[in-house]
Structures are given as structure tokens and as C-alpha cells.
Copies of this chain bind each other. A is one copy, B any other.
Amino acid sequence: MGSLEALQDRFARGTAFVMRVRLEDKPDALGPVLAAVVKAGARTGEIQLAEHPAGAMVYDIQVFTTGDEQMAAARQAAAAVKGAEVLTVLDPAMETHRGGACETRSRTPISSNTDLRIVYTPGVARVCKAIQADPANAWEFTNICNRVAIATNGTAILGLGDIGVLAGLPVMEGKAAIFWEFARISAEPVLIDTHDPEEFITIMEKLAAGFGAIQIEDVAAPACFHITRELDRRLPIPVFHDDQHGTATIVLAGLLSALKKTGKNIERMRCAISGAGAAGTAIADMLHIAGIDDVVLADRAGILYRGRKENMNAEKVALAQRTNKDNIRGTLADAMAGRDLFIGVSQPNLVSQAMVASMTKAPIVFALANPVSEITVAEAYQAGAAVAADGRMMNNALAYPGIFRGALDSAAESITVDMMLAAAAALAGLVPQGQLMPKMMDPATHQAVARAVANAAQKP
């Protein structure tokens, strides 16, 4: 990791801005501005010359801050420097999303009337007739072999909650951008503006002919379980809920990697999970399949046990049946005491160092709440963790692009548990020495996941 990345990591819980400053064209003009930013508590990163008008220099200065308030202070401090004028402050996230993060383009140039008559009438009629004669031809002669729906109802957008489909659209577009960049998959946001799970299912079912696979995204629990299961049952294409299946795959990959580092045995693991929503439920099931038979979950009402009445729903009643084998009760702290593995998919700052210290010696701690984790990695290590990681290190974008690539390449009808286990094993096998997870930016990572998933899909 370069030093700039390291610096950005230090401030990753905050916000990086770009401040455009106009200075007098003097050799010593920049230094005082940088000093002022630092004095306001912020940090400076990259500095680029944006313009060079007569008698002046205009710089774009990257400013790492804890948030809007610190940025305002840094701006004020910079503006107070003699000869400096702050022209604007840009948020790179807003600028990157300006005009959208994805777009739909032609795959073929149209530069003559002949081209037009091939891509459209009369030529296209022959393609239509070929599909009418045999619907299987659609896989070869349309883009559905490579097209994924990213479908949401806007009810659980990031950690922001039920902010609606429109406010959630940048997340879907961001995911579409990731699909393209990491796996050359053509993914489209599908905003389904309904709070009724049955209506969501019906609508997605009626739209499904246009897609080769469906990613359910940021749909709140417990509706997400029924929606995902039911669509997967009804449709002949994979239906994958990233918050469940993607997160569970990444957790298993991280666990396999951590076990390799620590020499521990997966079957002896006793696990506590904070959060009993989409992610927690799927992780508990995945760990069970991977061989861990002692998993306890806790949510805001404490440990999930058979017979609990508080904060329950049908999904949690069923989950309590298949976890917590000793049916213990208590708080999250009680759940963690004496356990080897903690997985947080819940809320910021729920876990203290004392809670980590109460686990077995040298436990594994994955605190994955986003953007602020249950406990920081540094604090977890200080409290005795052998391996600690947060959501920045264990990012779903390591898994789902390759999983969908593999599923599409093998024309799979579902993404099975075997395919997810194969993805997790492939990821764990790619981890560089001294790291927990493989390299996100290396295309080989996503290609290896795709191959492993396609192979697992094709097994009888």
C-alpha cells in the first residue's frame, strides 16, 4: 500500500475533499496555505496545478478531514492566508457521481444506412425470429448472457436505512460501475418503488426475461429473505442477495485466510455474531456449512435464543432453531465471552476492548459494520486479537463480480452454496504473504473467483 493510500486509510472514516486555491505567483505562496490546513486539524494529500493564469497559480489541494466541520475550518484557515483565495471545495464522491456512475452504450458502431438496417429493421427481424423459434437463442444473440439487474426497494441503503429508491440509486450505479470494471458485466440499476415484498417479487419476475442474473441489493431484513428465496425458486436465473451471500462468502474467505495464519482448526471454532439481519443470518448458515457447529447471534435485544419473545420475526425464530446449540441467553458481551471468533455486521462501537479480552486467547475479530466498525482494528489488536479486520479490508467487491462472472459464464440457474464455498476458497488461496485478503485491484483476483465459481457450477 502506497503512503498516500496509508494516509487515506487513516482518514477513511472521514471525508477527502479537493480545495481549489488561487495564489499569487510567488515561490513561497503554497507553504503557508498547507500549514493553515494542518493547523485546522486536517491533512493535505496530492497537490496539482489546475491553472496558471497571468500572475497567479491555481492549485487543487486534496484535504483529508474528519468531515464537513473540519473542512469548513480548513477552508477558513486557508482563506485567511494573505494572497490566497479559496475558489471552491469539491467533494470527489459528488464529482465522480455527477452525471451518474454508469451508462448504457451501443456495442456496435452505426456509421452507414447499412449498419442501421442490420442493428435495426429490417435485419433485426431475423434475430427476433431466431429467438421466437428457439428462446435459448436469446442467450447468444442478446446481451442477457452478460446483463445483471441490481434490484432494490431502497429500504436498507448502506447504513442509512429506508431512504427510498431514488436516494439509493448512486449505490446501485456504483455497484454497476464495479461490475463493469472488475468483471466486464453489464449491470443495470432496477429501482422498484414498493414496500410490499410480494409486489417486489411480482415486478421483478415480470422483468426477469431481460437479465441473465439478479443481484438483490440493500433490501431490508426480514423481507430480503423471502424475496431472494422466492425469486430464486421461480426464476431460471441466479438470484443473489449481496448483503447475505456476498458478505457470507467474504467472511468465510477471511476466516479461511485467518485460520491459515493462526494454524487454528475451523471445526473447533466457537463463534459470536453481532447482528441478526441479512448478513448475520447468512454468515451463521455459511459457517455451519463450513463446519462450525457452535454459533451464537446477538441483536439489539441480546442473544438470540429459542423461546425469545422480544424483537422476533419468523426468520429469527427459525434462525434460533438452527443456532445457539446450548440456548444461552444474555447480552452481546455474554455471547462473546470465551469464544474464538467474533463477526460484527451490526452497528458502530458496540464492542469494547474488554469484550475482546473476554474471548479465548488470540481470537479472530472481524468488525465489519460500515462505515464505522464495532471496534477498530487497532483496538482489537491491542485487546489481544490474533487477527483483526474491518469492512475496508473485507470488502464484498472482492467476491460478487467474480461470482456473477462465473455464474454467467456457466449459464448457471442458481448461485449454489458450493459456488460460494468455491469463491471463498479461491479468495483465501490468493492472499499475499502478510495480508488477510487478496488484492482488489488485481484482475487476477476476480478472474480466479470466476473460474472457481464456473467450475463449481458445472459439477453434477
Residues of A at under 8 Å CB distance from B? Answer: 4-5, 8, 12-13, 15-16, 91-94, 96-132, 135, 138, 140-147, 157-160, 163-171, 173-178, 180-182, 186-194, 199, 203, 206-210, 370-371, 391-392, 395, 397, 440-441
CB closest chain-B residue, reference A208: B193
What residues on B are CB-neighbors of A180 within 8 Å?
104-106
Instruction: Evaluate contact between A128 and B163: CB separation under 8 angstroms.
Output: yes
Listed from nearest, the 8 A-B pairs whose CB atoms lie closest are: A100-B143, A93-B123, A106-B177, A122-B371, A132-B167, A191-B210, A127-B170, A103-B186
Instruction: Evaluate contact between B186 and A12: CB separation under 8 angstroms.
Output: no
Q: Which of B102, B199, B440 contacts A143 (CB 8 A)?
A: B102
Report the bound CA distance from A5 to B116 in whole Å: 12
Instruction: Evaluate contact between B163 and A127: CB separation under 8 angstroms.
Output: no
Q: Which of B12, B15, B122, B210 contacts A190 (CB 8 A)?
A: B210
CB closest chain-B residue, reference A371: B122
**Most chain B beta-carbon neighbours within 10 Å: one of A143, A170, A177, A210:** A170
Instruction: Evaluate contact between B103 and A143: CB separation under 8 angstroms.
Output: yes
What residues on B are CB-neighbors of A175 within 8 Å?
120
Beyond A128-B170, A210-B189, whether A141 also contacts B98 by CB under 8 A is: yes
17 further interface pairs, Cβ-Cβ under 8 Å (given A15-B126, A105-B186, A128-B168): A96-B119, A97-B124, A99-B107, A100-B143, A101-B119, A104-B105, A104-B180, A108-B177, A116-B397, A116-B440, A121-B371, A121-B391, A125-B158, A127-B170, A128-B158, A138-B166, A166-B209
Report the bound CA distance from A126 to B116 in whole Å: 42
Instruction: Evaluate contact between A101 and B106: CB separation under 8 angstroms.
Output: yes
Instruction: Evaluate contact between B158 and A114: CB separation under 8 angstroms.
Output: no
Beyond A108-B101, A166-B209, whether A121 also contacts B192 by CB under 8 A is: no
What residues on B are CB-neighbors of A371 within 8 Å?
121-122, 125
Q: Which of B96, B125, B199 contacts A118 (CB 8 A)?
A: B96
Tell me, rounded to whole Å, the shortest Cβ–Cβ distance linking A99 to chain B. 7
CB closest chain-B residue, reference A93: B123
Instruction: Evaluate contact between B93 and A166: CB separation under 8 angstroms.
Output: no
CB closest chain-B residue, reference A8: B114
Q: Which of B97, B106, B178, B210 contacts A165 (CB 8 A)?
A: B210
Beyond A147-B100, A440-B116, whether A206 also contacts B193 by CB under 8 A is: yes
